[in-house]
Amino acid sequence: MNERDGMYMHWLRERIQSEGRYLGDGILKVDVFMNHQVDPLLMQGIGYEFARRFRAQHPSKILTAEISGIAPALATGMMLQVPVVFARKTKPLTLNTEPYQATAPSHTKGGEVQLMVSHEFLSPAERILIIDDFLASALTIRALAELVRQSGAQLVGIGAVIEKSFEGGRGALRDLNVQVESLAVIEKFEGDKIIFAE
């Protein structure tokens, strides 16, 4: 790993530490740079790092969930020069056929959301890299993986900007047998303090 590689991840952890807010119940608010307002330079660094880690898997397409996964997925797609597909949560009028569909719980909104992707954007010939903002319980990522399975495409990797390791999501992905990478891993919260894994 060269100096540039380490710089981006140090920068990400600094931003989480200084601007992230723990709201209780496992919810980390990072909307100042990723989930509501987006810092383009930070996203560029995130895209560079994901591209560095997954380039050897030769993904042909990136899959994410709207809305929060779009920024890191797009940055990664730009670095790898591959298209980005985002699973939608509402069916648009322009979608005439039944899409691939999977259900995932919404940790921040409560209840469940339906994730859907048109058949024209996922095919058996594709090598799919999933990129999302968080890896916590992994239920959203598993729903995305289910969309890949339905399409017959090959899942080649999973990347998350922030992992909350105490929620066990990484273990829940083990049976998928793919490379899983997180750029910042949070071990626990102590009061309002964010403790990163070494």
pTM of the model: 0.93
In order along its 198 residues, the chain shows pLDDT tens digits of 455 656 778 999 999 999 999 998 888 999 999 989 999 999 999 999 999 999 999 999 999 999 899 999 999 999 999 999 999 988 777 777 889 999 987 765 667 889 999 999 999 999 999 999 999 999 999 999 999 999 999 999 999 999 999 999 999 999 999 999 999 999 999 988 899 997
C-alpha to C-alpha distance for 73 and 61, rounded to whole angstroms: 10
Domain residue ranges of the chain, discontinuous segments joined by +: 3-196
| Class of the domain covering 3-196 | alpha beta
C-alpha to C-alpha distance for 55 and 80, rounded to whole angstroms: 7
C-alpha to C-alpha distance for 133 and 163, rounded to whole angstroms: 9
